[in-house]
């Protein structure tokens, strides 16, 4: 057995034994393909936001107030990792996503997105540092959304590496709608960067006067789900609409995704946004939109063999509707959706596939959980 397979098998054994040893809470829910079981792996996390798996099967989990912890397979929480940058934990801001460098085994680099305080307010920033024991060392901020603004909303802030090792960073509009259309401002954009935070080569606005050279696409409201498609290698995103109009997109370089000029949503007070347009020449339509809004957060493609009925599906956390959304795809077309865990009544902030082939979700609460989601055999 390879060293990696041994580590993954050990993590699964530890997780299963921990359920019995700790009396982990388990709940079952009906679904189209059989019973879905949710098992609490860890609790006591304050508004957990981002999750990634270390090579040995342990998890790194962010807490929005500014803590990063290691969660063991048996649910034990480490002390907060030292060296995490200072965050502005206000409104929707704080310590947000976490990702490992594609060559983490060689360089131990961990990437964090967060709301960074500074002149003018705060903005979405990305830092990286080497994880050594329970500390981040050699921490440096490699990307800053500019300008900083004094609002507590819409940081976006998902992180994904593509197959070439380029880093995608989503930035929300910070509640300032029109900035998403302004190429000189960092709000409402998807950025494509080298692993050191410099703009990736060949981007569409690199030579346009006044434009941020790292912009990949624009016209986004608040991307809070992003994942690499397992077959095509393209980055898929979803973003919050306002009242209605959450979207799934496959962003292409240089394309305008319309916010706030076009949207399927309306303002929270019921008024129209702008001219109330849903389409306009030169602006992209979403692959799929949800009205009413899910409050979409977190995105994962299911690629394991453990639950064949789910293979090839996407999974989206729902903050507002408090469930896990299963999305059935044919190419770049959504053909069906199914709400899972409907009666759990938990705001699901993030969803990831674990090395054991199960799904893992974070619940957004003062006493937030890491939970394992499994489809039981019929």
Listed in order, strand segments (DSSP E) in 194-275 are 215-218, 223-228, 235-239, 246-249
Tokens 């003062």 locate to: 366
Nearby residues of 164 by Cβ (< 8 Å), 6 or more positions away: none
Name the strand (E) or helix (H) holding 19. helix 3-22
What distances in angstroms separate CA 87 from CA 19, 96, 185, 249, 312, one per listed residue? 34, 10, 21, 29, 36
∠ CA 315-145-370, nearest 5°, is 30
User: Would you state the structure tokens that stand for residue 62, as one six-digit string?
Assistant: 């962010």
- Phi/psi-derived region of residue 47, left when phi > 0, alpha when psi is between -120 and 50, beta in every other case: left
* Residue 215 in tokens: 């912009």
Q: Which of 6, 33, 101, 154 is catalytic?
A: 154
- Contact 220/283 with Cβ under 8 angstroms? no
Is 6 part of the annotated catalytic residue set? no
CA 320 – CA 36 distance, rounded (Å): 21
Active site residues: 154
């Amino acid at each position: 057995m390879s060293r990696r397979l041994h580590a993954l098998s050990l993590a699964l054994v530890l997780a299963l034994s921990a359920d019995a040893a700790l009396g982990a809470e388990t709940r079952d829910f009906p679904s189209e393909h059989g019973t879905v079981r949710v098992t609490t792996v860890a609790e006591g996390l304050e508004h957990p936001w981002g999750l990634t798996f270390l090579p040995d099967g342990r998890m790194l989990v962010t807490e929005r107030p500014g803590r990063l912890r290691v969660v063991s397979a048996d649910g034990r929480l480490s002390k907060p990792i030292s060296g995490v940058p200072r965050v502005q934990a206000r409104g929707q801001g704080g310590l947000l996503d976490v990702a490992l460098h594609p060559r983490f085994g060689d360089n131990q680099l961990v990437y964090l997105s967060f709301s960074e305080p500074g002149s003018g307010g705060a903005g979405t920033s990305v830092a990286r540092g080497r994880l050594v024991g329970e500390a981040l060392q050699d921490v440096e901020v490699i990307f800053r959304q500019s300008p900083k603004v004094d609002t507590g909303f819409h940081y976006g802030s998902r992180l994904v590496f593509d197959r070439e090792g380029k880093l995608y960073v989503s930035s929300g509009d910070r509640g300032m709608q029109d900035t998403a259309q302004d190429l000189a401002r960092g709000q409402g954009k998807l950025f494509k960067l080298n692993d050191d935070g410099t703009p990736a080569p060949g981007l569409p606005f690199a030579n346009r006067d006044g434009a941020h050279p790292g912009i990949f696409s624009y016209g986004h409201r608040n991307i809070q789900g992003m994942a690499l498609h397992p077959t095509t290698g393209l980055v898929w995103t979803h973003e919050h609409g306002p009242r209605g109009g959450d979207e799934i997109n496959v962003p292409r370089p240089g394309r305008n995704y319309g916010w706030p000029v076009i949207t399927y949503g309306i303002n929270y007070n019921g008024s129209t946004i702008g001219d109330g347009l849903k389409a306009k020449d030169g602006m992209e339509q979403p692959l799929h939109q949800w009205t009413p809004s899910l409050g979409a957060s977190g995105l994962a493609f299911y690629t394991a063999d453990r639950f064949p009925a789910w293979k090839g599906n996407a999974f989206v956390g729902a903050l507002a509707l408090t469930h896990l959304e299963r999305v059935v795809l044919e190419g770049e077309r959504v053909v069906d959706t199914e709400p899972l865990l409907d009666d759990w009544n938990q705001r699901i902030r993030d969803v990831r596939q674990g090395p054991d082939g199960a799904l893992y979700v974070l619940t957004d609460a003062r006493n937030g959980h890491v939970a394992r989601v499994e489809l039981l055999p019929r």
